[in-house]
Amino acid sequence: MNQIINKLPKKPGVYIFKSNSEEILYIGKAKNIKKRVKDHYQTQSYPDDIIIPQINDIDFIITASEKRALILENELIKKFQPKYNKLWKDDKNYAYVQISQEDFPHISITHQKKDKNFEYIGPFVSAKKIKEFLHDIRSILPFRTCRTMPKKYCIYHDLELCPGYCIKKTKTNKSKSKKIISALKTLLEIYANKKPRIEGYDISNIQGQDSVGSMVVFNGSDKSTKDYRLFKIKTIKGIDDPGSMKEIISRRMKHEEWKMPELIIIDGGKTQISKLKNTDIPIIALAKIKRKYDAGVIHSQFSKKSIQTKNLPKEIQNLFLRIRNESHRFAITLHKKLRLKHAIQG
């Protein structure tokens, strides 16, 4: 057995204990597979003292991260139901965000995916952390949490954490609710390491001259550089970043042959986002804090409030800042070319 253990990788992943009849006895996850398996043999405590004598072979699957290992472990335990993974069989160690399939959906957290009337996103390793995220993000993406709509506004509406669909069941609010849920789902998918399509936009000019706009595309945390686009501003004269942003978003939306994003992130604040009310895609504005590129303030189309990036989970925070900084870098590339061209012509 020592020979088998010595060949195990020192990487994150899942390890599988098997009997001499190839029965799967136990499935575990680890940040370091080799170290974790060694720990089993050194601990020799319940249930290890029952499992260890029965192990004849050890398989493993390497994953990109410990978090991915947790998710894979959960999937494999559900599939094979090893007898020494009893604590995992009821799914209670993982949390899911459930979204009701209604015109005005309500959001809640559950440990089991059993109701066909809900859409589920996850799993998430920590129910506590996902609760904290939903609490924080609700200030800019207000959503409903009540299972049964009341006949009058509740305290969450008074706190501007719910749009008050119980009273305002209008066509406009139905559309607004759809966009809020779409934005929320995209953020949850980022948090769950899935790959939603996100576009980032920025404007670059010097004193209103040679204004250009950029569009960068990410599939999850991966850049899709083949889909990047640059725009020369055509209808706006002088310094007008909000007007320029409105122009390039409008022009982009006319290109139905380009795959549509699930979320748009623009460089800017309340003024920029106030100009972009008529798009079907949810938009979030990310403003700089004292010109820092490692922080920002987030605004949405759906609230007067804002939230700092530091209050978001690291997965979302890092991706938002990468997209903002990449769109800024890409816009400057065209702007520099135009300035150089004019300088040569002059």
Whether residue 104 sits in one domain with residue 82: no
Q: C-alpha dihedral over 167, 176, 139, 299, to 10 degrees?
A: -150
Report how far residue 276's alpha carbon sits from residue 282's, in angstroms, rounded to the nearest whole number: 10
Same domain, 101 and 82: no
Question: What mean pLDDT value characterizes the chain?
Answer: 87
- Lookup: tokens for 281: 């895609």
Task: Assess whether 82 and 155 both reside in one domain.
Answer: no
**Least confident segment among 46-55, 86-95, 293-302, 327-336:** 86-95
Least confident of 76-80, 207-211, 297-301: 207-211
Evaluate if residue 260 carries a pLDDT over 90.
Answer: yes
- How far, in Å, CA of 248 to CA of 215, rounded? 9
Sign of the CA dihedral running 175, 109, 159, 321: negative
Q: In the prediction, which pLDDT does 91 show? A: 46
Compute the distance between CA of residue 37 and CA of residue 7 in angstroms, rounded to an integer: 11
Number of structural domains found in the chain: 3
132-163 pLDDT, tens digit each: 999 999 999 999 998 888 888 888 888 889 88
Lowest mean pLDDT among 47-61, 81-95, 160-174: 81-95
Q: Is the same domain home to 338 and 212? A: yes
Q: pTM, whole model, 2 decimals?
A: 0.74
Q: Are 130 and 261 in the same domain?
A: no
Residue 270: the pLDDT is 87
What is the CATH number for 325?
3.30.420.340
Say whether both 161 and 183 belong to one domain.
Answer: yes
pLDDT, residue 346, reads 40
Domain identity same for 294 and 339: yes
Residue 34: phi and psi, rounded to 5, are -60, -45
Query: The domain containing residue 169 runs over which residues?
Result: 95-191
Hey, what are 251's tokens? 């022009």
Nearest to 282 by CA among 174, 166, 141: 141
Same domain, 111 and 183: yes
Regarding whether 31 and 133 lie in a shared domain, the answer is no
Which residues have a Cβ under 8 Å from the Cβ of 331 and sit 6 or more positions away? 202, 203, 204, 212, 213, 214, 230
* Residue of 254 and 128 predicted with greater confidence: 254
Residue with tokens 């472990």: 73
Q: Token digits for 79?
A: 């599939």
Pair 286, 234 in one domain? yes
Q: Decide which of 160, 191, 222 is a domain's last residue.
A: 191
What is the pLDDT at residue 339?
A: 61
In percent, the amount of the chain with pLDDT more than 90 equals 50
- Domain boundary at 34, 57, 88, which? 88
Residue type, 99: I
Are 222 and 332 in the same domain?
yes
Residues 140 and 46 reside in one and the same domain: no
CB 40 within 8 A of CB 1: no
> In the chain, what percentage of residues exceed pLDDT 70?
91
